[in-house]
Every structure is written in structure tokens, then in C-alpha cells.
A and B are shown apart, each in its own frame.
Chain A
């Protein structure tokens, strides 16, 4: 039982998950799950109570039962008590103050990450303003490496997302060419296939690998098929750089995705056995609302469950983690305001837990949002040091039917904030003559090497 007394009124919260849910800034998914605070005062009362909660409490009262949930067991059993010691005496409010303090240097935060559980990160996010989420995240440094190095200070990488409604290889190659000319793809060139057919996935993997080798681009590729499809293809000899999978914050959510932790471990081992890039071979996607959507939320709010998905990601040492924040629709994040906050919460929680966080800054046409909202979230995320964002031709994904960020958006951010792409990729762009005297991407023609991607006349 948790409580806060404000003036004459005592607000009571029956258990930790109720306290967490009611302390969450308003969003439609928690209303849909009927776990949101009944009014604004109750929400702030929950935030007062949460601020006074000792961090240790999260180790004693799991929001999802330990006995029945593999993600909870991963969190509790994998907790690094030595790393936790410096903050073990703090409350959630005290933890927020520490994170904002000058003592929380990038080095200190890196050392702390294994001691922080997802619920601790989620709790501090709930009592933070957007500014806090940005200031703290910007101090977290998470760098990963495959053929490029992603997440270095002063860098902003992009996933080139060249989707096509029928997976047509020539249509996909045309989008890749456009993206490369505009400096996109240094995090990954990643295709969402329209079909999960193994044969189709193999064809696309070969297409990407062929382009990479013919153009001698230092990039990695991924076809975002189900992990079981990718695992089978690795065994059959397909050129797999990164293994993709959508993941969630409860065992039942992951079951809904058709996966469990052992499958992810098996796929990671298989990808490592190929020795194509490095030790970081996983690409995970997440998003608030997926657990409720799969009816697997256990009465826990969607922001906390999202942070728990990062515990799953962390276990497998990913190269990239991407929160696809506005994709799920207005019943989970209603409008631009809710999407913007969720994007910054996710980035903050992921970084605090030590993950290479990127964000698909996006929305659907039935959400109350538009490109102005995406400009806002994108700018705030870049200020907060996001590792990578999406590059979609004209921001319009013609296969998935939603809007994200464009190649041009990424360039605008790089120029506004003075960020470059990953150094290996930057050198390649320079070699192709795509950068002007100020280091800006200004293609003046089609470089000779890129002409190899043109279809026969």
C-alpha cells in the first residue's frame, strides 16, 4: 500500500503497479487499459508518492510476478547489485536529483547502467519533465560497432528504410540509391518485407549484400523478418548481418510475437557464428502499447512495460534498438503531445539502461499528429543525443502506410546541430564526392559508383 497526503486528502494506491500507472503522464493506452489516474490531482499525488519510494522497493515487489514471467526473472536475476550500490540508498526522487547533478558524469552513468532496472528508469521518467529526459539522456554515451560505429558524440546516424509494397527489388534499389545520395544508411539499410516468405527474405538479403559489396559501402543490412525466418536463413547460408526482432516487456507479449528468450539467444549465436561484423548483431524494435495490444499487460502501464522490453534487449547486447513510437495508433498515444513525450521517455529509459537507442519518429493518419509534431520530437531527440533515426523517402512509407522522417529531415538535423554521420560512412560519402566544402551533403550529380544501381535503360 502506498499513499500521499495533499492538503486534507489522502490518496491511496493499492500496489506498486497501480502507483506506477497512476503516476504516468496522461496517455490514451492507459485509459484504454482502465489503469490511468482518475483525475489530474490523483496523478500528481501518485508522483509525490513515487518520488518518496526507495529504489530498492522495485527489487522486492515486481510489477509482473517473478514465478510466471521470464522477463521479470531476467530483470531480477540479472541485476548487478555492485553497480546498484552507489544509488541503493536513494528514493526515486533522489535518483532524479542525482541524475541531473554534476556528479552524474557520462562515465558514472555508464558504470551505473547494469544496476538500474527498467522499473527504476520508468519511475524516474514519470516524475521528469521533457527537459530532464533530454538533459540526462544527453549525458549517456552508448556506442556500438558493426561495419560502422554508431552513437559517438557529435554523430547522428540513420536507418535507410527503402520499403516497397510488393518487395520489388528494383523499386527497393531505387529508394536505396536516393537515400545513399542524401547520406542515409549509416546505422543500417533495413527493409521491412511485405511478406514473411523465407524465399523473399533471402532474395532481399542478397540484394542488400550485393549493393554493399558492389558499391563498397561500409554499412550493415537487415531484412526485418521474424527471428525464426532469419535463423533458418542463416543456417541455409543467407548473408545475414543483423538479426531483427520485435520484442515486448512481458513473457506473454513476446509469446504473442511468436518468440521466447531462448529463441533470441539461439539466433544471436547463429549470427555471431558468421563473423560478419562484430559482437553486436541484434536489431530490436519496441513501442509503448504492444503489451496491451497483445492483451498481455498484467495491469501494468505501457511506459513501464516498454522499459521492461529494454531489459530483454540489453540481455542480447544489441547493435541497434529502435522505439517505433507513433506507429501503434491513437488508442495508445493519441496525439502529437503524447507521442513526443513517449519518444523522449523511451530514449531516456533505453539510454539509462545502456542501450544504443534510436527512434522511429512517426505517426499514423488516424492519430492527431502531423509533420510539425515530428519536427518537434526529432529536434528534441537529436538534442538529447539519439543514436539514430529513420530515413524514409519523403517521410512516406508506402508499404507500412505511416509517416516517419525523411532523408532530408536527417540532413536538416545534422546541419542544425553540427552532427556528422558515422565516421566510416562519412569517409565513403566524401570519397563519392557527395559532400561540399563545408562537409554538407550536396550531391551535384550521380557519382560514378552509384550509377551501378541504375536499372538498364
Chain B
């Protein structure tokens, strides 16, 4: 690649040190003022992976197989968003259950303390790869404390708030949605966990607690499960979730 230059030349050792301080794309080789070929293609590759992550369909059969060892009945349902294009343009439909799915869940209604929901969100790969290990780490602690756990719901084309509908249909006091987060270039498979106590159709983000960036390079499955169980205990004890729970925990920490 003739013409490409390190940025700037003769400072290679300094750049190696600087690159160790941030994942940002610094010190890129250039030609003229433009990016050299190699970093330009690196960027395209990262974007291609992120795009593929957004559009890859959830393999719900495989996810159900992987989740079988958790020892919960599994129900697979759809949101009201018929396909990916509709899902991306109509977030309201991704928050609602399609009629057949709602009926399926209603047949399994009972009295439960918590319902877990696995939803593809914006990265099916995230939920495919990272959700089951988080649950495997969290469930034993909850079972030991006598939590009544609802059947596990797998939702295709789901948004965070669909957990409210699922918990409502199953008769659960709490909803935990494990969902693929919006992929960034450096993290195409990041999982988020959204916890809501006594979810209602008008629950908002302020009513939820979130554990973000769950993936091997971010928050590992064991740490995420620990935080999740901690939050669930606090929610059940205080009967709330979201901003108010956060505020109280902060006050406790400072006091």
C-alpha cells in the first residue's frame, strides 16, 4: 500500500502506548488526509458485523434447547411486529404481544414471583450467546429462597416493554427481560437485563432497573446474575423498582 503513512511517522512507540489507553480508533494510518486502505476496511468490517447482528433472526429452537437445562417450561411467542422492518419502524408493536402469543401465555397463568423473558431486541446474537449462562447463574439462588418462577418466555421481535405484557399474562409480580442491545461497532453482541416490579401497561423506563453491557468483554454472566439477584431481592422487599429503588440504594451507600 504505497503512500499510506503511520500517523504520525516516527512516533510508532508513542502510539502503541496511547492505543492501550482507549478502544477508540486513534493513530490510524492515512494517505494524504484520508484513511489508508486497511483502517478503512476495518471500519467496514465492524459495521458489517453490527448490521448482521441487527438483522440476524433469532434461532428460537436452538435457544429453547440451550435453555432446557434451566428446568423451566418454555413458551415461544411473537410480538405484534410481523418482521424486522416493521420491528425497526414501529417500536410500539414490538412492545405488544401478538394475539396468539398472549393466548398461549394465558393458558399457563398462575401465581409467580418473577417471569424471565428472552427477547431478540436489536441483537439476537446477544441473547443467543449470553442469556442462558446468566439465568443458569441466577436461578439457583432464587430457588433456594423459595421464589416461584414462571415459565420462561422466548419472544421474537420483542422490545423491553414486552416483559410487562408477558408478566401480566403469566401472573408474575416481577419481569426480567434479557434482550439484545443496540449494537455498537465494538460490541455487536451486548446483552441488557431490564427488571421491573409490578409492571403495568403504562410502566416507563423510570420504573425499570437495568444491567447493561452483559458480554464476556463487559459484565460477565456471574457478575450480571449477582446484580440481578441483588436487585430482585430489593424489589420484592420494598415493592418498587426503577428510579426510586436506585435513589434509596444510593442513600444507603452514602449513609
Give me the interface of A with B, judged by CB distance under 8 Å: 28, 31-32, 162-165, 168, 170-175, 177-178, 181-182, 329-331, 334, 364-366, 370-371, 393-396, 398, 401-403, 406, 408, 411-412, 414-415, 440-446, 454-455, 457
Beta-carbon contact of A366 and B33 below 8 Å: no
Q: Does B137 contact A (CB under 8 A)?
A: no
Interface centre among A171, A364, A365, A443 (most CB of B within 10 A): A365
Could you tell me the distance in whole angstroms from the C-beta of A200 to the nearest C-beta in chain B? 15
Q: Does B50 contact A (CB under 8 A)?
A: yes
Q: How far is the CB of A93 from chain B (nearest CB, A)?
A: 32
Of A28, A398, A415, which is within 8 A of B22 by CB? A398
User: Do B30 and A396 touch across chains, with their CB atoms under 8 A apart?
Assistant: no
Q: Is the CB of A446 within 8 A of B46?
A: no
Contacts of B11 in A (CB 8 A): 445-446
Determine if B184 and A365 form an interchain contact, defined as CB atoms under 8 angstroms apart.
Answer: yes
Identify which of B21, B33, B51, B183 contacts A440 (C-beta below 8 A): B33
**Complex alpha-carbon distance, A395 and B26, angstroms:** 10
CA distance A397 to B17 in the complex (A): 20
Compute how far the CA of A28 lies from the CA of B93 in the bound complex, rounded to whole angstroms. 14
Residue among B8, B91, B186 with the highest chain A CB neighbour number at 10 A: B8
B249 to chain A, nearest CB (A): 15
Residues of chain B with a CB closer than 8 A to A178's CB? 7, 18, 24, 26-27
11 of the cross-chain contacts (CB-CB < 8 Å) are A171-B22, A174-B21, A178-B27, A181-B8, A365-B54, A371-B43, A371-B44, A393-B24, A394-B35, A401-B183, A455-B17
Write out, one digit per residue, whether chain B residues 15-40 have a CB within 8 A of any chain A CB (1) or not (0).
00111011111111010111100010
A171-B24, A178-B27, A371-B43 in contact; A28/B34 too (CB < 8 A)? Answer: no
Contact assessment for A175 and B35 in the assembled complex, using a CB-CB cutoff below 8 Å:
no
B106 interface contact, C-beta 8 A? no
Within the complex, the shortest CB–CB distance from A76 to chain B, in Å, comes to 32
Q: With A164-B24, A394-B43 known to touch, is A401 a contact of B184 (CB < 8 Å)? A: yes
Tell whether, in the assembled complex, residue B24 and residue A394 are in contact, meaning their CB atoms are under 8 Å apart. Answer: yes
From B89, B183, B187, name the one whose CB has the most chain A CB atoms within 10 angstroms.
B89
Contact of B39 among A163, A394, A403 (CB under 8 A): A394
On whether the beta carbons of B46 and A396 are closer than 8 Å, the reply is yes
Contact, CB under 8 Å: A366 / B24: no
- B1 within 8 Å of A (CB atoms): no
Residue among B22, B23, B35 making CB contact with A406, cutoff 8 Å: B35
Min CB–CB distance A439 → chain B (angstroms): 12
What 8 pairs across the A-B complex have the smallest Cβ distances? A394-B25, A401-B184, A171-B22, A411-B33, A178-B26, A365-B50, A443-B8, A393-B24
Cβ contacts under 8 Å, B183 to chain A: 365-366, 401
Contacts of A440 in B (CB 8 A): 33
In the complex, which of the residues B7, B21, B51, B187 contacts A171, with contact meaning CB atoms closer than 8 Å? Answer: B21
Tell me the complex Cα distance, A173–B20, Å: 12
Report yes or no: A408 in contact with B92, Cβ–Cβ below 8 A.
Answer: no
Q: Closest residue to A334 on the B side, CB-wise?
A: B89
Chain B residue contacts of A370, Cβ below 8 A? 47
Taking a contact as CB atoms under 8 Å apart, the answer to whether A365 and B92 are in contact is no
Q: Given A170-B21, A394-B43, A403-B185 in contact, is the A365-B7 Cβ separation under 8 Å?
A: no
Q: Knowing that A168-B22, A394-B39, A441-B33 are A-B contacts, what are 14 other residue pairs whose CB atoms are under 8 Å apart, sorted by A's residue number?
A: A32-B91, A162-B24, A170-B22, A175-B22, A175-B26, A365-B53, A396-B184, A396-B185, A401-B185, A406-B35, A414-B33, A415-B32, A444-B8, A446-B11
Q: How far in angstroms is the closest Cβ of chain B from A417? A: 13
Q: Are B22 and A365 in contact (CB under 8 A)?
A: no
Q: Which of chain A's residues has its CB closest to B90's CB?
A: A32
Kindly state whether residue B9 has any CB partner on chain A within 8 Å.
yes
Cross-chain contact A396 with B8 (CB below 8 angstroms): no
How far, in whole Å, are A173 and B21 apart by their CA atoms in the complex?
A: 9
Q: What's the Cα separation between A165 and B47 when bound, in Å?
A: 19
A170–B24 CA distance with the chains assembled, in angstroms: 12
Most chain B C-beta atoms within 10 Å of own C-beta, residue among A178, A330, A403, A442: A178
Report A-chain residues with C-beta under 8 Å of the C-beta of B28.
393-394, 408
Distance in Å: Cβ of A406 to nearest Cβ of chain B: 7
Nearest residue, chain B, Cβ from A416: B33
Contacts of A365 in B (CB 8 A): 47, 50-51, 53-54, 122, 182-185, 188
B89 CB contact (under 8 Å) in A173, A331, A393, A441: A331
Of A334, A394, A414, A441, the residue contacting B26 (CB under 8 A) is A394
In the complex formed, the residue of A with least CB distance to B84 is A366
Cα(A425)–Cα(B78), bound, Å: 56
Q: Cβ of B44: which chain A residues have Cβ within 8 Å of it?
A: 371
B135 contacts the other chain (Cβ, under 8 Å)? no
Residues of A within 8 Å of B43, CB to CB, are: 371, 394-396
How long is the Cα–Cα vector from A96 to B26 in the complex, in angstroms? Answer: 44
Interface flag for B88 (CB, 8 Å): yes
Question: Which one of A162, A401, A440 has the highest number of Cβ atoms from chain B below 10 Å of its Cβ?
Answer: A401
